Structure 1
Amino acid sequence: MPTLTRLLSIIGLIVTGAVLSMYLLVSYVEPEPREIIVEIQKEGFE
C-alpha cells in the first residue's frame, strides 16, 4: 500500500523536524540543556 508508506514517511518527517527544532531552540536559548531539564525536575519534585 503506497499510500500507507507515504503517510508513515510524512509522519516520521514531521516528528523528526519537531524534535530537531525543539533541540535547536533549547540549545540556542541555553547552551546547557541538561541543566534546564534538571532544574525543571527539581521544581516539579519540590
Structure 2
Amino acid sequence: MPTLFRFLFIVAVIAGIVYGGMASLAYLVEPRERDVTVRIPSERLNPQQQQQ
C-alpha cells in the first residue's frame, strides 16, 4: 500500500504544479491588444453573374 500512496502523492504534486502554473498565467500575464486586418478579395465581395 505505501507505493500506492506514493504514486497518488506524486500525481497530486504534479497536478498542483500544473494548476499553479495555469493560475499564475491567468492572473499575471496581461494580453496585448492589437489591430487585425484581414484582406478579402474583391471577387468574394462582388461575385460576377454567370451569363447564359
The residue aligned with 1:17 is 17
Gaps of 5+ in 2: 31-52
Higher relative contact order (CA 8 A, sep 6+): 1
TM-score, structure 2 length as denominator?
Answer: 0.53
Q: Rg: which structure is higher? A: 2
The answer to whether residue 25 in structure 2 is matched with residue 28 in structure 1 is no
- Superposed CA RMSD in Å reads 0.8
TM-score normalised by structure 1 residue count: 0.59
Kindly, what percent of the aligned residue pairs are identical?
A: 40
Matching residue of 1:8 = 8
AA in 2 matched with 1:22? M
Q: Kindly indicate which of the two structures has a greater share of residues assigned to helix.
A: 1
Instruction: Extract structure 1 runs of 4+ deviating beyond 6 A.
Output: none
List alignment gaps of at least 5 residues for structure 1: 31-46
